Amino acid sequence: MAGTVIEVKKELLKLADKKKAELLQGFFKTGRGEYGEGDIFLGIVVPEQRKVAKKYKDIDLNVIQELLNSKFHEHRLVALLILVEKYQKDDSKKEIVDFYLKNTANINNWDLVDLTAHKILGEYLQDKDRDLLFKLAKSENLWERRISVISTFAFINKGDYEDSFRIAEMLLNDKHDLIHKAIGWMLREVGKRVSQEEEEKFLKKHYRTMPRTMLRYAIERFDEKKRKYYLNRY
């Protein structure tokens, strides 16, 4: 069904939970100086937000924009989940991608990135020039850098990992642990879905200098002996 921004917000307000909101405020690091500073939560779990997104998947982009402009985290996530629904079903994929990129300032927490970047931008760039991802990887904006990393998950799912490695090399010295975790996750997925041998080729080149958090994520699925090999020679 289509709907107005007021209808969507009312639907979400019915699902709000103050106790969960307090927990989420801490989990997503919303305090002064933290990565999610100022973000406000209603306290709604993701499965419930997905239901709302599916219900309102036919709303217009101008309504989605209003939701993305909201101070409430769940308003923005539902807007992005609706955008994923639209991308998967609509023919106007470039318009949706352009809209997504125009709103990177509102895609400003790790779950907002991780649930959407590969499903919209990554899917779109499967058969296109990917220079945009390398531009995002150089951004001063933390979330744009994370978008560049997570978007490559779509490529990995099709057996294509070279750009994941290239972006990982660009960001090996990034100062933020959310980038370390994202790269480690993508490296792990290369090993899981494509080739552990290829993942290890990358690791043997970089494991001595990459951040420890990145390495830990990357070797999470290795057997204990191999994990110790990498960690003990860090």
Tally of CB atoms within 10 A around 132: 17
One pLDDT digit (tens) per residue for the chain, 234 residues: 677 999 999 999 999 999 999 999 988 889 888 888 999 999 999 999 999 999 999 999 999 999 999 999 999 999 999 999 999 997 899 999 999 999 999 999 999 999 999 999 999 999 999 999 999 999 999 999 999 999 999 999 999 999 999 999 999 999 999 999 999 999 999 999 999 999 999 999 999 999 999 999 999 999 999 999 999 876
Q: In this structure, are residues 214 and 167 in contact, taking their beta carbons and an 8 Å threshold?
A: no
| Amino acid at the residue 221 | R
SS3 state at 109? coil
> Could you give all domains of the chain from N- to C-terminal order, each with its CATH number?
1-111 (1.25.10.90), 116-234 (1.25.10.90)
Residue-wise DSSP of 205-221: HHTTTS-HHHHHHHTTT
The string over 140-176, giving b where at least 16 C-beta atoms fall within 10 Å of a residue's C-beta and e elsewhere, is: eebbbbbbbbbbbbbbbeeeebebbbebbebbeebee
SS3 state at 3? coil
pTM above 0.85, yes or no: yes
Burial (CB count <10 Å: 0-12, 13-18, 19+), residue 20: middle
